[in-house]
Amino acid sequence: MKPTLTPSFREFLPAWLTRQPWFRGGAPASVGFFRFEDPAGEVGIETHVLEAGGVTYQIPMTYRGAPLAGGALIVTAEHSVLGPRWIYQAETDPVWRNELLRLVRENATAGRGSDFAVHGTLLADFADDDVHIELARILTDPAQFDDIVGIVTAGDHHMATIRRRMA
* pLDDT at site 34: 83
Q: Is the pLDDT of residue 113 over 80?
A: no
What number is the average pLDDT over the span 127-150? 68
Q: Is the pLDDT of residue 135 over 60?
A: yes
Give the type of residue at 16.
Answer: W
- Across the chain, mean pLDDT equals 83
What Å distances lie between residue 98 and 56, 104, 144, CA to CA? 25, 10, 24
Question: Who wins on pLDDT, 158 or 94?
Answer: 94
Question: Who wins on pLDDT, 108 or 151?
Answer: 108
* pLDDT at site 145: 47
What Å distances lie between residue 44 and 26, 82, 116, 129, CA to CA? 29, 11, 17, 23
* pLDDT at site 120: 77
* pLDDT at site 65: 96
Q: Is the pLDDT of residue 11 over 80?
A: yes
Q: Is the pLDDT of residue 132 over 60?
A: yes
